[in-house]
């Protein structure tokens, strides 16, 4: 079914429903940053900022009142901080998807946030267009990690094997999983990806060419129905493939 090429509602009786907006709450204790971010988000036609919050307790009230699609959450807030807020939301089984928007570079905090159900992590120094993209991706059900944090977060998950599987972020929903079984070599590559190794590093470690690694990854993506390395790493951790055993 084709979309309206003008991007606007058709005439009355055309049967084209208005496109629903992504409803967003911004939580940060710095008014200038919070207000500026809200103004930027308001420029996007498919975004609607429905409320703001300056601390965790306000977040809980605002989410209950507005039931937004996305919460942009700072970790460093007075009173109830970001991680404590995430704990409350997890206990309440709140359906709002959370993107942590932070200036912190503490990878342990990122890991804790992911374990508490965060769907995305974006650093405050990230370009605006990437933040906007992350909101749309997370709203669509995907997981978003800043490129600078991906490997570190995955390594932390691997290092903390005692963490139960249910505490990890939900495995991305993709098309049919494992249409055919992975070979032993493919399982080794999956484990290395989950540990944050790059193609060149994997090639050196496995005594194969970088092109061979790429070929294996192409086959693995196709077999598992994943679209990128992060999705593969998260899938590997959820299914205990990250140790290579």
- Does the domain spanning 22-154 belong to CATH 3.30.390.50? no
Per-residue pLDDT at 144 exceeds 70: yes
Listed by start position, the domains of the chain span: 22-154, 171-238
Mean pLDDT taken over the chain: 81
Choosing among 2.40.50.140, 3.40.50.2000, 1.10.10.10, 1.10.3720.10, the CATH entry for 171-238 is 1.10.10.10
Over residues 89-138, the pLDDT tens digits come to 999 989 999 999 998 878 778 878 887 888 899 999 889 999 999 999 89
Over residues 160-190, the pLDDT tens digits come to 544 443 344 444 444 444 456 889 999 999 9
Residue 125: exposure state from Cβ atoms within 10 A (0-12, 13-18, ≥19)? exposed
HSE-CB of 109 using CA atoms within 13 angstroms: 18
Q: Phi then psi for 47, rounded to 5 degrees?
A: -110, 145
Percent of the chain with pLDDT over 90: 47
């Amino acid at each position: 079914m084709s979309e309206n090429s003008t991007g606007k509602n058709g005439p009355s009786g055309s049967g084209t429903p208005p496109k629903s907006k992504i409803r967003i709450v911004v939580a940060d204790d710095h008014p200038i940053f919070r207000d500026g971010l809200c103004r930027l988000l308001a420029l996007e036609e498919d975004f609607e900022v429905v409320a703001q919050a300056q601390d965790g307790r306000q977040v809980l009230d605002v989410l209950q009142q507005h039931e937004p699609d996305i919460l942009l959450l700072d970790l460093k807030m007075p009173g109830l901080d970001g991680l404590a807020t995430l704990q409350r939301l997890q206990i309440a089984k709140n359906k709002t998807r959370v993107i942590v928007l932070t200036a912190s570079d503490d990878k342990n905090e990122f890991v804790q946030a992911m374990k508490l159900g965060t769907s995305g992590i974006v650093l405050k120094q990230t370009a605006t267009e990437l933040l906007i993209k992350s909101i749309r991706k997370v709203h669509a059900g995907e997981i978003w990690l800043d490129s600078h944090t991906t490997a570190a977060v995955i390594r932390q998950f691997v290092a903390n094997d005692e963490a139960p599987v249910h505490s990890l972020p939900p495995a991305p929903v993709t098309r049919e999983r494992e249409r055919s079984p992975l070979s032993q070599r493919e399982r080794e590559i999956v484990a290395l990806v989950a540990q944050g190794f790059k193609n060149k590093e994997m090639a050196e470690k496995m005594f194969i060419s970088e092109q061979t690694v790429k070929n294996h990854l192409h086959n693995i993506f196709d077999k598992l129905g994943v679209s990128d390395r992060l999705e593969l790493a998260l899938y590997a951790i959820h299914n205990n493939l990250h140790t290579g055993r």
